[in-house]
Amino acid sequence: MYLTMNRFKVVPAQAAAFEEMWTSRDSHLKEVPGFRSFALMKGPEREDHVLYASHTLWEDEASFVAWTKSEAFRKAHGGAKASTGMYLGPPELEIFEAVQVLE
């Protein structure tokens, strides 16, 4: 199991637009081999930002890397420039490999 997580510090006035951008887009993930699940999580609101995290669960690292090189990835990220002014800094990518999984 392989988890990729992006943290986004979203300007409070842009929080609704950020959520709409994510919930209305077609991520194309369901067609990608090795994809397991996705969640967009909303965290605490601070004075200057609202924290969000996207979690994508993959079968393994190779599946994630293949996705980043795929047409589905390019389609899913095609409108990224439209979000200029929405964030305090760039998203922070964090990657985790499973040590123990309980189901």
Which amino acid is present at 95? I
The confidence band for 68, taking pLDDT boundaries of 50, 70 and 90, is very high
SS (H, E, C) 22-52: HHHCCCCHHHCCCEEEEEEEEEEECCCCEEE
pLDDT tens digits for 39-67? 999 999 999 999 999 999 999 999 999 99
pTM for the predicted model, two decimal places: 0.86
Q: Can you read off the two tokens belonging to residue 4?
A: 């990729």
Residue 81: its pLDDT value, please? 56
Read off the pLDDT of residues 74-96 as tens digits, 9 standing for 90 and up. Answer: 887 776 656 778 999 989 999 99
